[in-house]
Each structure stands twice: as C-alpha cells, then as structure tokens.
Amino acid sequence: MASHATLKVLTANRLSDGRVVYLGETGWTVAIEEARLIATPDEASGAEAEGARAVADRMVVEPYLIDVETETGGILPASLRERIRARGPSTGHSRGAAA
C-alpha cells in the first residue's frame, strides 16, 4: 500500500507585484509545479526559515505552508482556496498575467 504522507509547499505573495509565489529549489517561483515539496518537520523548519529571510529582505510577505497532493503527477493544492490562488487572479486584466 502506498504511503500517503502529507506533503507541503511554502507559499507567499511577492512584495513587488502581489503575485502568488512558491519556494522552489533555487528561489521563489510563480509556478506551483516548480515548488519544493516538503515532507518532514525538518524540511518544513528549513523552508519557513527561508521564508522569514525573504520577508526580512522584503521579497515576499506572509509565507506559510500549504498541504498539497501529487497523485495526478503534478502538484495540486489540497484546499479550494489554494487552488484558486495557484491559478492566478480570476477577474480583471491580471488574468493570465506572465511571470
């Protein structure tokens, strides 16, 4: 039977334009598919420390961990709220905005 450990990613909003971003392997990205998967409490602590540094450097605001699923081959937020955030603005001129 497959393990169903809860995976997480660290998300925040980029301070320069408000875009939703995710902590990736080499920095912050707007693509959730490029987010770093977090599986252990130690990895979570490390990611949160990187988020705190990014806040201190005024790169992002309000970083927090979200639950994600990977059963479809990609990374999908577990909650509806985070799925909406991952798809970008749903109204106005920002829909489909480039990274």
pLDDT digit string (tens) for 25-39? Answer: 999 999 999 999 999
> Could you read off the pLDDT of 47-67 as tens digits, one per residue?
999 999 999 999 999 999 999
Around Cβ 72, how many Cβ atoms within 10 Å?
Answer: 7
**pLDDT band of 4, cuts 50, 70, 90:** low
Contact 47, 54 (CB under 8 A): no
Domain ranges for the chain: 8-87
Q: What is the pLDDT of residue 56?
A: 98
Query: Closest by alpha carbon to 17, among 30, 35, 26, 27?
Result: 30
Q: Which residue has the tokens 């039977």?
A: 1
Question: How far lies 90's CA from each of 84, 85, 86, 87, in Å?
Answer: 8, 9, 11, 8
